[in-house]
Amino acid sequence: MREYSKVIISSFLVILACLGLGRFAFGMILPNMQESLALSTTQVGFIGTANFIGYFAGIFFANHLYTKYSTYKLVFITLVLQAVSMALMVVFNNYLIISFLYTFSGFFSAIANIAIMAHMANVIPKNIRGKALGIVVGGNGLAIIISGQITPFVEQFVDNAPWRTAWLIFSIVLIFIAFFSQPGIKKHTKHELPEIKVSSKKYFFIPSFWKISSLYMIFGFTNSIYVTYAVKTVITQYHITSSLSGDFWALLGFTSIFSGFLFGIVADKFGAYKALIFVFILQTLAHFTLTINVDSYIIWFSAVMLGISVWCIPSLIILLTSIHFDVKRAAQIISLVTILFALCQAFGPVVAGYLHDITGSFSLIFLLTSLMALTATILSIIFSRQKIKQIH
């Protein structure tokens, strides 16, 4: 794996930036944003959904741009543009304008994410691909740790809407990573692939495509709700301070760093579907825990269960894609699977926000997501018992 260390580190940083800080840090600034802008939960949910809509739109461009331009150029440009759109968000007070700008952030993050993951799928040998992808998605975890510590720290020194300062800091970090990630990505430019002229429609009639997609769709819906509202839930439902909520978020982020690597090893040894069985069991427990009104110590259990199981799922989906389909079609298949993932992901925050405004609680919402995660567990058991035949 040492031969590929530079591209793994660069990819880790790209994921940390485009998804970790660009999207998952949003859950940490959300409570202060909602308070300072006097927004309803439905409105802040709409902002989160806007980002996922942008991500959804970006997927349709990702495969074409990936096959047309070199990965290092594509990643650099999209990270810079994403940082600009994030920085502009702090200028405005109207949630619709903020949503509009966050849509562009999601658009550029999708392209950067798919480009770097497809690049990894093409560069890294199959025998270490699970572990390598697991390390890379750990960038999300480090970003969550960073946001969980920076946001409360900023709140101690900035009285007026500290979410703006924290969000601006995150956008500046994206600019730095856009530059620092370049050397490692450039090292393997010889692995760029020509565009593949194959109709996407044919994949929608292949059962293995839907096996992968169904699991990713469930994860998209449930995870978008957790990362958007978990911090707000622990503050309002368990009455903990902003500083402790940052520690909760940081603990989730810390444990998630090991998620991809741990289950990457499991997948390499026992198979991706068997790894997903254990992953979704942990996800079920993490979501269900937030429905229980007991001692606040329970939230730490939820953070650990979600953290240790969350970021391995994207890497396992990438791994399953390369197992079920020829690696030459990786970018196209990843794009298609991610379209369905993003579609479900986009509905999560606004649906959850609306249900919260009706019921006044997140308990019903997390009960729903825990049942969905349980369904994914059952599906993974079924799929693990079926023989896999690669499609060329």
> pLDDT band for position 327 (50/70/90)?
low
Among candidate residues 280, 312, 308, the one with its CA nearest the CA of residue 383: 280
Angle ∠(126,138,101) on CA atoms, nearest 5: 115
Say if 179 falls within a structural domain: yes
Please count the structural domains in the chain. Answer: 1
CA 274/CA 137 separation, integer angstroms: 19
CA 190/CA 198 separation, integer angstroms: 22
Asked if residue 72 lies in contact with residue 189, where contact means CB atoms within 8 angstroms, the answer is yes
Structure token pair of residue 365: 């919402």
- Supply the pLDDT for residue 368: 95
- Supply the pLDDT for residue 190: 47
Residue percentage of the chain with pLDDT more than 90: 37
Helix H or strand E encompassing 295: none
Question: What is the DSSP code (8-state) at residue 93?
Answer: -
Say if 391 falls within a structural domain: no
CATH code for the domain of 208:
1.20.1250.20
Contacts of 278 (CB under 8 A, 6+ apart): 263, 266, 309
- Using the predicted structure, report yes or no on whether residue 85 has a pLDDT greater than 70: yes
Say if 197 falls within a structural domain: no
Angle ∠(272,273,275) on CA atoms, nearest 5: 65
Asked if residue 154 lies in contact with residue 168, where contact means CB atoms within 8 angstroms, the answer is no
Map residue 391 onto helix, strand or coil: strand
Say if 390 falls within a structural domain: no
CA 108/CA 53 separation, integer angstroms: 11
- Supply the pLDDT for residue 189: 60
pTM: 0.81
**Considering all CA atoms of the chain, what is the largest pairwise distance in Å, rounded to the nearest integer?**
59
Q: What is the pLDDT of residues 134-154, one digit of tens each?
A: 788 788 888 988 988 898 899
Per the listing, tokens 């970090």 go with 173
- Supply the pLDDT for residue 194: 44
Among candidate residues 334, 74, 95, the one with its CA nearest the CA of residue 186: 74
- Supply the pLDDT for residue 332: 74
pLDDT mean across residues, the chain:
85
Structure token pair of residue 166: 């924290």
CA 44/CA 46 separation, integer angstroms: 5
Say if 75 falls within a structural domain: yes
Q: What is the pLDDT of residues 368-379, one digit of tens each?
A: 999 999 999 999
- Using the predicted structure, report yes or no on whether residue 264 has a pLDDT greater than 90: no
Say if 389 falls within a structural domain: no
Contacts of 201 (CB under 8 A, 6+ apart): none
Say if 196 falls within a structural domain: no
Asked if residue 373 lies in contact with residue 287, where contact means CB atoms within 8 angstroms, the answer is yes
> Residue 377 is part of which domain span?
2-191+202-384
- Supply the pLDDT for residue 389: 61
Say if 84 falls within a structural domain: yes
Contacts of 205 (CB under 8 A, 6+ apart): none
In sequence order, what DSSP letters do the residues of 9-23 get, joined into one string?
HHHHHHHIIIIIIII
- Supply the pLDDT for residue 391: 56
Asked if residue 19 lies in contact with residue 82, where contact means CB atoms within 8 angstroms, the answer is no
- Supply the pLDDT for residue 18: 94
CA 34/CA 181 separation, integer angstroms: 34
Q: What is the pLDDT of residues 195-254, one digit of tens each?
A: 444 456 677 777 888 889 999 999 999 999 998 898 888 888 888 877 888 888 889 989
Is the model more confident about 264 or about 48? 48
Structure token pair of residue 56: 């959804």
Among candidate residues 380, 322, 373, the one with its CA nearest the CA of residue 130: 322
Instruction: Pick the range with the lowest mean pLDDT from 8-22, 103-117, 282-296.
Output: 282-296
